[in-house]
Amino acid sequence: QQQVKQSPQSLIVQKGGISIINCAYENTAFDYFPWYQQFPGKGPALLIAIRPDVSEKKEGRFTISFNKSAKQFSLHIMDSQPGDSATYFCAASSGNNNDMRFGAGTRLTVKP
């Protein structure tokens, strides 16, 4: 069922560093690429999302880079903080967001 490949599985970053998580997809019909943040025991929360008409989107410390030809997109967290420690999921969907598929998740740990 997973049509989105995500790496790395886990990531440890020092406070203030840059966290980078990568995703790749195969289905060219996908046209919406969100990133979700999930804390233990909680539901995923939308962090930032991008559509294929732009190559980059930035919101605060979070940036999505999108490469349509390579069918890859990535999340960059600048100035990573211990409070960013969570599991991050990339996802992709098509049409009216009716078939969202998730990556396997990346467990991020930001060390103080």
Partner 1 sequence: GAVVSQHPSWVICKSGTSVKIECRSLDFQATTMFWYRQFPKQSLMLMATSNEGSKATYEQGVEKDKFLINHASLTLSTLTVTSAHPEDSSFYICSARDYSSYEQYFGPGTRLTVT
Which residues of this chain interact with partner 1, rule CB under 8 A? 1-2, 34, 36, 41-46, 89, 93, 96-105, 107
Shortest distance (Å) from residue 16 CB to partner 1: 27
Cβ nearer to partner 1, comparing 41 with 83: 41
Shortest distance (Å) from residue 69 CB to partner 1: 26
Cβ nearer to partner 1, comparing 17 with 109: 109
DSSP the chain: ---EEEE-SEEEEETTS-EEEEEEE--TT--BEEEEEE-TTS--EEEEEE-TT-SEEEETTEEEEEETTTTEEEEEESS--GGG-EEEEEEEB-TTT-S-EE---EEEEEE-
Shortest distance (Å) from residue 76 CB to partner 1: 21
